[in-house]
Amino acid sequence: MANKLQVIPLGGLGEFGMNSLALRYGDDIIVIDAGMMFPDEDLLGIDIVVPDFAYLVENKDQVRALFLTHGHEDHIGAVPFLLSKLDIPVYGTPFTLALAERRLEEHGLAGRVQLRPVWYGRKVEVGPFQVEFVHVTHSVVQAAALAIRTPLGVVIHTGDFKVDPTPTDNVLFDLHTLANYGQQGVLLLLSDSTNVDRPGYTESERAVRPRFEEVFGRAPGRIVISCFSSSIHRLQQVFELAEQHGRKVALLGRSMVQVVETAHRLGVLDIPDHILLRPQDIMLVPRDKVVVLASGSQGEALSAMARVAIDSHKHLSLEPGDLVVLSARIIPGNEKAIYRMINHLARRGAEVLYGSMEPPVHVSGHASAGELKLILNLVRPKYFVPIHGEYRQLAKHVTLADSMRHVGIEGCFILESGQVLELDETGARVAGTVPVGRICIDSGTLDEVVEDVVIKDRQHLSEEGFVVSIVLLNRTTGRPEGLPEIVSRGFVSAEDGAELLERARWLVLETVESASAEERRDVGLIQDKIRRALRKYLQDVASGRPLIIPVVIEV
Contacts with its own copies by CB under 8 A lie at: 14, 40-41, 44-45, 197, 199, 332-333, 335-336, 339, 342-347, 351-352, 355, 357, 390-392, 395-396, 399, 442-443, 445, 448, 450-451, 453-454, 457-466, 468, 470, 472, 481-482, 485, 487, 489-494, 496, 542-544, 547, 549, 551, 553, 555
Minimum CB separation from its own copies for residue 371, in Å? 18
Annotated catalytic residues are 192, 366
Minimal distance, residue 382 CB to its own copies, in Å: 24
Cβ–Cβ under 8 Å, residues 71 and 99 = yes
CB of 447 to its own copies, least distance (A): 10
Q: Say if residues 149 and 179 touch (Cβ distance below 8 Å).
A: no
Residue closer to its own copies (CB basis): 195 or 262: 195
User: Which CB atom, from 276 or from 331, has the smaller least distance to its own copies?
Assistant: 331
CB of 414 to its own copies, least distance (A): 9
With respect to its own copies, which residue has the nearer C-beta, 71 or 296?
296
**Cβ-based nearer residue to its own copies, 244 or 474:** 474
Q: Is 124 helix (H, G, I), strand (E, B) or coil?
A: strand
232-244 helix and 254-265 helix, angle to the nearest 10 degrees: 90
Dihedrals φ, ψ of 183, to 5°? Answer: -70, -35
CA–CA gap between residue 306 and residue 311 (Å, rounded): 9
The CB-of-208 to its own copies minimum distance in angstroms stands at 18
Using DSSP's 3-state secondary structure scheme, residue 550 falls into strand
HEC string of 331-398? CCCCHHHHHHHHHHHHHCCCEEECCCCCCCCCCCCCCEHHHHHHHHHHHCEEEEEEECECHHHHHHHH
Residue placing its CB nearer to its own copies in the complex, 238 or 309: 309
Q: Which is nearer to its own copies, 89 or 355 (CB)?
A: 355
For 220, half-sphere exposure in the C-beta direction (CA atoms, 13 angstrom radius) is: 6
Nearest to 452 by CA among 439, 443, 467: 439
Provide the minimum distance between the beta carbon of 280 and its own copies in the complex, in angstroms, as a whole number. Answer: 29
Distance CA 95, CA 388 (A): 22
Closest CA to 152 of 187, 120, 182: 187
